[in-house]
Amino acid sequence: LHRPAGNPSLFERWSDGQWVEEDCNWPFYTGLVWNQDSCRCVWGPNRTVAVPNVEESIPASCLLMLKLTFDNGHIKDEGRHIWLNIRNKENAVVENDPTAVGGKSGSFRGSSIAIPYFKSNVLGEVFHIGFMFKLCPGDPDTDIPLVHNDCIESGDDGPGIMIVYQAWRKQVVVSMRTVNSPVLVSEYCTVGKAQNDWTKIDIRYSNNFLEVRANNQVCVESNKYYGVIATNNCPLTLLGEAFCGSIDEIVITRGCTSAHAVS
C-alpha cells in the first residue's frame, strides 16, 4: 500500500501499522518522481543521474559498512556517514547510561533503523556483525528482531539474514541464506547472564564458517553454510516493532580479518 507525499520525489509506504516516508532518489539519483498510477518511481522531466563510477563500485578488501556508538548524542552512522531511515522517531532517543560503553546508548521503544545502503551492498564471503543490547524489564514471548533484511520487496527470495532474540529461551537465533541455499538455515546461541544486563553479540563469517560469541564466549561454531550470503532489494533493518530496550556499539564490516585494524 503506497501513496504520494508532499514532495514529488517522495512517497509513503504502509508498514507496521504506519505510513513510512521513502525517497525515490536515495542514494545516488536525482530526477526520479513517484508515479501513483504505476505505483513506482519513474524518471521525471529533469532527469539527471549521479550513478557512482565503476571504480567506486569495486568492493574494498576491508570495508567498514556501519558504525553506531551514540557517544556523540545522535543516532548517526559514524563510519561512512550513510543515511539511516529511523522509523517511529519519537520512540528512538539517545540516553545517558553509565552501564553503556562511552556512557550513552540508543533507546528504542517499537522503533527501528532501516539502512537502504545495504540494498546494493552485499556482506560477501567474510563479514562481522557486532552489537550490544539489553531489553526493557520482563520476558516477552515473541521473537525480538535485532538485525534482518526482510521486507515486502524481497518477494519470493525472502531475507538473506535474520538475527532475533528469544527471551523465554535466552537464545539468539542467527538465520542465514547463502546464494547456494534456497532457505534460511538457523543456528542457536544460548546467552548467559551478562553484567549490567547488556548482552554483547559478535557474529563472524569467513571461509564458509560461522562463529557466534555471546559476552565473549563462543556459543556457535557452524559449517552449515557455503558461499556468499544472499542479498535482496531490502534495506538492512536494526530492531523493530517488538523491540523495547537499548542498543550500543553496532559495527558491521566486510572483508576484514584479524590482520586489519577494523574489527
17 has pLDDT over 70: no
Q: Of the residues 16, 31, 54, which one is the last residue of a structural domain? A: 54
- Please tell me whether residues 42 and 156 are part of one structural domain: no
Average pLDDT, the chain: 84
Q: Is 262 inside a domain boundary?
A: no
Per-residue pLDDT band for 191 (boundaries 50, 70, 90) equals very high
- Please tell me whether residues 67 and 183 are part of one structural domain: yes
Residue-level pLDDT at 57: 39
CA 25 – CA 50 distance, rounded (Å): 10
Q: Which range among 10-24, 123-137, 161-175, 224-238 shows the weakest confidence by mean pLDDT?
A: 10-24
Q: Is 259 inside a domain boundary?
A: no
- Please tell me whether residues 16 and 90 are part of one structural domain: no
- Please tell me whether residues 148 and 49 are part of one structural domain: no
pLDDT tens digits for 74-133? 999 998 888 899 999 999 999 999 999 999 999 999 999 999 888 756 788 899 999 999
For residue 201, CA distances in Å to 97, 169, 259 come to 19, 16, 21
Per-residue pLDDT band for 25 (boundaries 50, 70, 90) equals low
- Please tell me whether residues 134 and 83 are part of one structural domain: yes
Please check whether residue 257 is in contact with residue 242, taking contact to mean a CB–CB distance below 8 angstroms: no
Residue-level pLDDT at 15: 62
E strands within the chain? 2-4, 10-15, 18-23, 29-35, 40-49, 63-68, 85-87, 92-96, 104-109, 112-115, 127-135, 144-148, 161-166, 171-176, 185-190, 199-206, 209-214, 217-222, 236-239, 244-254
- Please tell me whether residues 47 and 123 are part of one structural domain: no
Q: Is 103 inside a domain boundary?
A: yes
Q: Helix (H, G, I), strand (E, B), or coil: what is residue 152?
A: helix
Q: Is 153 inside a domain boundary?
A: yes
Q: Is 261 inside a domain boundary?
A: no
- Please tell me whether residues 158 and 132 are part of one structural domain: yes
- Please tell me whether residues 143 and 171 are part of one structural domain: yes
Provide the number of structural domains found in the chain: 2
CATH number at residue 206: 2.60.120.200
pLDDT tens digits for 197-220? 899 999 999 999 999 999 999 999
Instruction: Tell which wins on pLDDT, 15 or 193.
Output: 193
Q: Is 263 inside a domain boundary?
A: no
- Please tell me whether residues 178 and 75 are part of one structural domain: yes
- Please tell me whether residues 146 and 201 are part of one structural domain: yes
- Please tell me whether residues 113 and 228 are part of one structural domain: yes
**Percentage, residues of the chain above pLDDT 90:** 49
CA torsion sign for 101, 105, 110, 111 is negative
29 has pLDDT over 70: no
44 has pLDDT over 60: yes
Q: Is 25 inside a domain boundary?
A: yes
Q: Which domain holds residue 213?
A: 59-254
CA 108 – CA 100 distance, rounded (Å): 15
CA 21 – CA 2 distance, rounded (Å): 10
222 has pLDDT over 80: yes
Q: Is 19 inside a domain boundary?
A: yes
- Please tell me whether residues 14 and 127 are part of one structural domain: no
